[in-house]
């Protein structure tokens, strides 16, 4: 079993682990009986307790006699009755059979215990949003060179330095280690030198360090997997050779490239297949998460099949499939995947460390002071020297140099974890040094995780290392960054310099032209990045709005800056639309929310295979679209509203102006269904808006958009009709004249947004976007 590939985003504190070990000590007897250790107690059970006939032939089941097992009638009863006559038991209405559920029961208990301890020591971590993760990826790609150098060269250096020094130590007479050869030591060195991604992730997540350092150490821990795999197998094989020739070494070197690039290749293949599959899942949304999980796991397994690097396959498949799958799957699937992965990673992490603890307590150990202490010492020294040397080399090529503080954190953050332990555990049982190696490995792991892991946080504070920026990316930043990218690509072109941006641009263009068309379904394949980003932001804001709507507070992201502030084209006197105060906004929001919730409740039964397009989600999309259009049309209205308060010909003229503006009425080609409020007129529970809508529908039917027609004054109305002939956009604010009736009507609407507006007024319902 290789306990790899369990990257996760959950927090971990070493302290619960301490409690875990204590709990495990208490549970030790059970462990023994479970066969983790061959149990001498097995044979010692009095055989008459379990005569085969009584238990239907379950001789292998061994337990320390559970006290509440009432089915096991005391033996003295059983025996005589068994021998005398066939017993006749009453039908067991209620019984307890602990042995039946024992294994899953105990495992669940352990996991539960560990999770409870985590609860006790943590604040519930806040949900990370999409944006920081993409920032991490960008940082990752920009620093790829550095990360690779640390991962490959650093690990090699660690392994050889440690192995060599340990060999030197083993040669010293009097330590009892003389029989360990060079290859054994090198093997040990390669096992212990790998920085562990799980431990690193757990610790670094806690300390909220700046992204650069985080990704450097974490990236290194992920990418050194290839090196570790190769070295491990290399030395294991070499140990069996009578002598090691130069060609063997060369082949070993070659195999490194095969392993890492092969792993990446396998991952890319699976990633592309996954992206392609996700293109077609628009009708069966339920299985989307399953695809993602399965393809990723298959990538890992396929790589391991060929002795390639499983972790690199996993990473490559994730990186490749992510942009396309994210564009294709539904919001819910995305959430599911995110939370499922977090849950699994949490469980796996717990199990890994429990296993580690159990093996510590219950395993065979061979403690040799010299070996262990020198291992520990040399690990630290090797790490520090490696980081210092490599940074000196890397800084020649970096724009943003790594400061000594950074170097310290990188060195200090090189934690060993379960990978080292698993590799040691997998050693051939006949290997003479196995127990000693395991002991040393466990000691190093404990030391790095406990001591280094726990003290890194105060050290970070002490050294005042730059922390992670908590601010979200604003849309301004997005625009500017893209602008800068374009600019730099252009400049690089002028200079003839094939730099960073040039290749990035080429990749993007290739991506846009060919790849996106294949792998992304439908319309979204043509969406440029800025639009996608804007879309996401709007979605987030809309969700925030709803979630805070009930509490009546406006989210801080929304300021009172509105279109009027930045684009005032009207004289302030003539503005017909007063700005809504906070109360009004809240009322409107509440009404909106209530209606949307009601439609959601009406979702009828669905079978597992066809999930009806969620009206809630659709309603949100429509609300977003509406908000967008409201904004646009507001400004158009401001453009056209040059009407002072009392001019009489305004209705037709202004309608004519609006009517002639092609942009306002261009029916959107991509919205198949014209945006409407999904309010069911048949629903009896929402009289307020239902009546409004009904009224409006009736009114709309009498209102064709032809400018010449003399229409009665309608004031500000809202369209909710689906007529194709009518202007395609809803929420057209047909401006009335600034007449008192319409003004009054409007003001009345705004001043009385209560639950029972007068039906015959047909009061307009104005959801004002911010």
Residues 6+ apart with CB under 8 A from 61: 50, 55, 99
Of 31-39, 339-347, 553-561, 737-745: span binding another protein (CB under 8 A): 553-561
Length of the chain in residues, anyone?
Answer: 770
In terms of CB distance, is 145 or 176 closer to another protein? 145
Q: Confirm or reject binding of residue 477 to another protein (CB under 8 A).
A: yes
672 part of the interface to another protein, by CB under 8 A: no
Using the rule CB under 8 A, is 479 a contact of another protein?
Answer: yes
Q: Residue 355: which residues within 8 A CB-CB, separation 6 or more?
A: 3, 418
Q: Residue 467, SS3?
A: strand
Contact 575, 562 (CB under 8 A): no
CA 307 to chain centre: 28
Please report whether residue 141 would count as binding another protein according to CB under 8 A. Answer: no
Is 551 an interacting residue with respect to another protein (CB under 8 A)?
no
State how far the alpha carbon of 192 is from the alpha carbons of 418, 441, 719, in Å.
10, 7, 70
Kindly state whether residue 566 participates in binding another protein, applying the rule CB under 8 A: yes
Distances in Å between the alpha carbon of 613 and those of 42, 283, 333, 596, 603? 59, 9, 13, 14, 10
Q: Categorise residue 397: left if φ over 0, alpha if ψ from -120 to 50, beta otherwise.
A: alpha
Non-local CB neighbours of 681 within 8 Å, separated by 6+ positions: 690, 693, 694
Q: 209: helix, coil or strand?
A: strand
With binding defined as CB under 8 A, does residue 109 bind another protein? Answer: no
Q: Is residue 495 at the binding interface for another protein, with CB under 8 A as the rule?
A: yes
Distances (CA, A) of 320 to 96, 137, 406: 51, 12, 30
The reply to whether 662 sits near another protein by the rule CB under 8 A is no
561 binds another protein (CB under 8 A): yes
Q: Is 475 in the site for another protein (CB under 8 A)?
A: yes
493 binding another protein? (CB under 8 A): yes
Q: Does 484 bind another protein (CB under 8 A)?
A: yes
| Residue numbers 454-473 binding another protein by CB under 8 A | 469, 471
From 481, 601, 660, 740, residue interacting with another protein (rule: CB under 8 A): 481
Based on the shown chain and the rule CB under 8 A, indicate whether residue 526 belongs to the binding site for another protein. Answer: yes
DSSP label of 580 = P
Choices 65-73, 430-438, 563-571, 637-645 (CB under 8 A): range interacting with another protein:
563-571
Among candidates 277, 350, 354, 269, which has minimal Cα distance to 312?
Answer: 269
Q: Give 159 or 625: the residue with its C-beta nearer to another protein.
A: 625
Closest contact distance (angstroms) between CB of 113 and another protein is 43
CB-based contact 156:227 (threshold 8 Å): yes
Residue 129 within binding range of another protein, rule CB under 8 A:
no
CA distances from 229 to 258, 303, 564 (A): 11, 12, 63
Of the pair 103, 567, the CB lying nearest another protein is at 567
The minimum distance between CB 124 and another protein, in angstroms, equals: 27
User: Closer CB to another protein, residue 206 or residue 538?
Assistant: 538
Compute the distance between CA of residue 703 and CA of residue 697 in angstroms, rounded to an integer.
10
Smallest separation (angstroms) from another protein to the CB of 433: 48
Selected range binding another protein among 8-16, 455-463, 529-537, 675-683, rule: CB under 8 A: 529-537
Closest C-alpha to 156, from 214, 245, 235, 238: 235
Burial zone of 48 (CB within 10 Å; 0-12 exposed, 13-18 middle, 19+ buried) = exposed
Of the two residues 332 and 467, which places its CB atom closer to another protein in the complex? 467
CB 521 → another protein: shortest distance, Å? 16
Q: Closest approach of Cβ 129 to another protein, in Å? A: 16
Report the residue number, 499 or 659, with the smaller CB distance to another protein.
499
Identify the helix (H) or strand (E) that includes residue 172. Answer: none
Asked if 744 contacts 764 with a C-beta cutoff of 8 angstroms, the reply is no
The answer to whether 488 contacts another protein (rule: CB under 8 A) is: yes
Compose the 368-407 pattern: x for residues touching another protein by CB under 8 A, - for all others.
-------------------------------xxx------
Give the H or E element holding residue 29: helix 14-33
Asked if residues 538 and 475 have their Cβ atoms less than 8 Å apart, the reply is no
Candidates 628, 671, 706, 740: give the one binding another protein (CB under 8 A): 628
Contact 187, 232 (CB under 8 A): yes
Least distance from another protein to the Cβ atom of residue 480, Å: 7
Cα(315)–Cα(308) distance, integer angstroms: 13
Rule CB under 8 A: say whether 126 interacts with another protein. no
Among 13, 631, 647, 722, binds another protein (CB under 8 A): 631
Query: Binding segment for another protein among 109-117, 567-575, 591-599, 746-754 (CB under 8 A)?
Result: 567-575
In terms of CB distance, is 451 or 495 closer to another protein?
495
511 binds another protein (CB under 8 A): no
Provide, rounded to whole angstroms, the least separation between the CB of residue 392 and another protein: 14
Among 567, 601, 660, 744, binds another protein (CB under 8 A): 567
What minimum distance in Å lies between the beta carbon of 512 and another protein?
A: 9
CA–CA distances in Å: residue 330 to residues 280, 325, 611: 12, 9, 12
Which of 759, 594, 767, 596 is CA-nearest to residue 692? 759
Least Å distance, CB 556 to another protein, is 10
User: In the bound complex, what is the minimum distance in angstroms from residue 507's beta carbon to another protein?
Assistant: 15
Residues 177-216 that bind another protein (CB under 8 A): none
CB of 29 to another protein, least distance (A): 58
134 forms part of the interface with another protein (CB under 8 A): no
Side-chain-facing half-sphere of 521: CA atoms under 13 Å? 16
Told to check if 565 binds another protein by CB under 8 A, we report: yes
Q: Minimum Å distance from CB 220 to another protein?
A: 21
- Cβ-proximal residues to 337 (8 Å cutoff; 6+ apart), any chain: 288, 289, 292, 293, 329
Q: Kindly state the smallest distance separating residue 409's Cβ from another protein, in Å.
A: 19
Query: Which DSSP letter does residue 196 get?
Result: P
Question: Does 741 interact with another protein (rule: CB under 8 A)?
Answer: no
Identity of the residue, 429 or 513, whose beta carbon is nearer to another protein in the bound complex: 513
User: Among residues 104 and 496, whose Cβ is nearest to another protein?
Assistant: 496
State the minimum distance, in angstroms, from the CB of residue 727 to another protein. Answer: 14
CA distance 217 to 219: 5
Q: Write the CB contacts of 112 (distance below 8 Å, at least 6 apart in sequence).
A: none
* Shortest Å, Cβ 488 to another protein: 7
Query: Contacting another protein (CB under 8 A), which of 560, 607, 725, 751?
Result: 560
CA dist., res. 734 & res. 703, Å (int): 11
Q: Please write down the HEC assignment for all residues of 124-157.
A: CCCCCCHHHHHHHHHHHHHCHHHHHHHHHHHHHH
Least Å distance, CB 740 to another protein, is 22
User: Long-range contacts of range 141-146, CB-CB < 8 Å, 24 or more positions apart?
Assistant: 142/500, 143/212, 143/215, 143/216, 143/219, 144/219, 145/394, 145/397, 146/216, 146/394, 146/398
Kindly tell me which of 101 and 484 has the beta carbon lying closer to another protein.
484
- The binder of another protein chosen from 497, 517, 582, 602 (CB under 8 A): 497
- Closest CB 394 distance from another protein, rounded Å: 14
Per CB under 8 A, residues contacting another protein are: 399-401, 469, 471, 474-477, 479-484, 486-488, 491-499, 526, 528, 530-531, 534, 559-568, 572, 578-579, 628, 631-632, 635, 663, 666
């Amino acid at each position: 079993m290789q306990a790899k590939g369990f990257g996760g985003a959950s927090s971990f504190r070493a302290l619960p682990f301490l409690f875990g070990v204590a709990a495990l000590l208490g549970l030790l007897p059970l462990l023994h009986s479970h066969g983790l250790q061959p149990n001498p107690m097995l044979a010692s059970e009095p055989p008459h307790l379990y005569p085969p006939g009584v238990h239907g032939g379950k001789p292998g089941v061994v337990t320390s006699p559970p006290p509440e097992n009432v089915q096991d009638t005391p033996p003295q009863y059983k025996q005589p009755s068994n021998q005398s006559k066939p017993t006749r038991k009453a039908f067991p209405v209620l019984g307890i059979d602990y042995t039946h559920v024992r294994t899953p029961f105990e495992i669940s208990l352990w996991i539960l215990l560990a999770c409870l301890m985590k609860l006790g020591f943590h604040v519930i971590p806040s949900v990370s949003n999409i944006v920081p993760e993409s920032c991490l990826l960008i940082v990752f790609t920009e620093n790829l060179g550095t990360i690779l150098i640390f991962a490959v060269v650093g690990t090699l250096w660690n392994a050889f330095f440690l192995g060599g020094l340990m060999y030197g130590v083993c040669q010293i007479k009097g330590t009892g280690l003389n029989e360990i050869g060079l290859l054994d030591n090198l093997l040990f060195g390669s096992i212990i030198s790998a920085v562990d991604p799980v431990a690193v992730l757990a610790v670094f997540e806690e300390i909220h360090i700046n992204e650069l350092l985080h990704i450097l150490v974490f990236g290194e821990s992920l990418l050194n997997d290839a090196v570790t795999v190769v070295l491990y197998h290399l030395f294991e094989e070499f140990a069996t050779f009578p002598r090691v020739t130069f060609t063997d070494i060369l082949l070993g070197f070659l195999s490194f490239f095969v392993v890492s690039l092969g792993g990446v290749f396998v991952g890319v293949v699976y990633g592309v297949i996954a992206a392609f599959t996700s293109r077609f899942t628009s009708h069966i949304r339920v299985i989307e998460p399953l695809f993602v999980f399965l393809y990723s796991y298959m990538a890992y397994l396929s790589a391991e099949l060929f002795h390639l690097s499983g972790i690199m396959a996993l990473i490559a498949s994730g990186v490749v499939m992510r942009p396309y799958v994210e564009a294709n799957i539904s919001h819910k699937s995305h959430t599911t995947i995110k939370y499922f992965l977090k849950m699994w990673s949490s469980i796996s992490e717990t199990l890994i460390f429990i296993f580690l603890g159990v093996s510590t307590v219950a395993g065979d150990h061979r403690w040799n002071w010299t070996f262990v202490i020198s291992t520990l010492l040399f690990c630290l020294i090797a790490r520090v020297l490696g980081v210092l040397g490599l940074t000196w080399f890397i800084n020649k090529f970096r724009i943003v140099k790594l400061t000594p503080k950074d170097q310290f954190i990188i060195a200090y953050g090189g934690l060993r974890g379960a990978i080292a332990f698993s590799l040691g555990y997998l050693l051939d049982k006949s290997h003479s040094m196995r127990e000693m190696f395991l002991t040393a490995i466990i000691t190093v792991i404990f030391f790095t995780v406990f001591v280094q892991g726990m003290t890194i946080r105060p050290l970070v504070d002490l050294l005042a290392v730059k922390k992670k920026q908590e601010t979200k990316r604003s849309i301004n930043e997005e625009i500017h960054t893209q602008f800068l990218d374009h600019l730099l690509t252009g400049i690089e072109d002028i200079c003839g310099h094939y730099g960073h941006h040039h290749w990035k641009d080429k990749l993007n263009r290739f991506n846009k032209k060919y790849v996106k068309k294949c792998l992304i379904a439908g319309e979204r394949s043509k969406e440029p990045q800025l639009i996608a980003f804007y879309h996401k932001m709007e979605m987030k804001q809309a969700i925030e709005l709803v979630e805070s709507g009930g509490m009546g507070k406006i989210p801080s992201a929304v300021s009172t800056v509105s279109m009027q502030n930045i684009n005032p084209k009207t004289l302030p006197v003539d503005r017909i639309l007063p700005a809504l105060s906070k109360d009004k906004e809240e009322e409107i929001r509440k009404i909106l929310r209530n209606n949307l919730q009601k439609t959601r409740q009406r979702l009828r039964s669905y079978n597992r295979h066809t999930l009806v397009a969620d009206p809630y989600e659709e309603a949100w999309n429509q609300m977003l679209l509406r908000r967008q259009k409201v904004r646009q049309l507001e400004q158009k209205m401001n453009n056209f509203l040059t009407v002072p308060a009392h001019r009489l010909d305004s209705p037709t003229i202004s309608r004519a102006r609006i009517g002639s503006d092609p942009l306002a009425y261009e029916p959107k080609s991509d919205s198949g269904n014209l945006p409407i409020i999904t309010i069911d007129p048949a629903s009896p529970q929402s009289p307020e808006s239902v009546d409004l809508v009904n009224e409006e529908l009736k009114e709309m039917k009498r209102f064709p958009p032809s400018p010449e027609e003399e229409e009665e004054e309608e004031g500000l109305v809202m369209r909710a009709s689906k007529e194709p002939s009518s202007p395609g956009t809803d929420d057209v604010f047909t401006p009335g004249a600034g007449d008192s009736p319409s003004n009054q009507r409007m003001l009345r609407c705004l001043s009385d947004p209560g639950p029972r507006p007068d039906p015959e007024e047909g009061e307009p319902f104005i959801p004002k976007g911010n």
